Amino acid sequence: MTRSLNGESILKGLVQARIEFVVALPDIVTCDELLWPIARRQPFRLVNVCKEDEGVSICAGMSYAEKRALLLIQHTGFLDSINAIRVMGMDYQLPIVMMIGLQGLEKQRAPIQSEQNGVRIIEPILKTMEIPYHVLSRNADAVVIPEAIDEAYTASHPLVFLIPGFGDDT
């Protein structure tokens, strides 16, 4: 899996999707390219959390206030938050939009092919939970962001963007 992704292409998509709040717990995959630029940039308002499931609840609450939010976390935090995502996103049908960094994913591999068990099981879990997702490996992949987020808010369901990493691994 070739990676040639930079944060700017993702940030443009988030602006186009009218994301106002980014709820985040720092992770090593997304900090340099996304979290730090978001912290310094308008129109985003950064909300730091200590636990990922808190972020799920905050994003759910913001949807009730008709605010668009993105939860920026690592895959291990997603695994820790599955019950909160199930309740808020699936049972209450709220648009919890998540961007998940895949720490430990080996270069040139798809997530499902990873030696890292935690990375390898993410896509099967998303499929089982029937949560739509997109893998953002290249800048060209980021074009789906605005439409996918609009769809999640219109249909009121969770959505995940998987981030294998940034840079040019060719």
Token pair in block for residue 56: 């799920």
pLDDT of residue 170: 42
Rounded Cα distance, 51 and 95, in Å: 19
Q: Report yes or no: 56 and 80 within 8 Å, Cβ to Cβ.
A: no
Q: What is the full DSSP assignment across 58-79?
A: HHHHHHHTT--EEEEEEHHHHH
**Considering only the top CATH level, what class is 4-168?**
alpha beta
Tens of pLDDT along the chain (170 residues)?
A: 555 888 999 999 999 999 999 999 988 888 888 888 888 877 899 999 999 999 999 999 999 999 999 999 999 999 999 999 999 999 999 999 999 999 988 888 888 888 898 989 999 999 999 999 999 999 999 999 999 999 999 999 999 999 998 876 54
Rounded Cα distance, 154 and 69, in Å: 14
Residue (of 100, 122, 99, 98) closest to 110 by Cα position: 122
Q: Where are the domains of the chain?
A: 4-168
For 92, how many CA atoms within 13 A lie in the half-sphere containing its CB?
17
Q: Which residues of 101-125 are buried (b: 16+ CB within 10 A; e: fewer)?
A: bbbbbeeebbbeebebebbbbbbeb
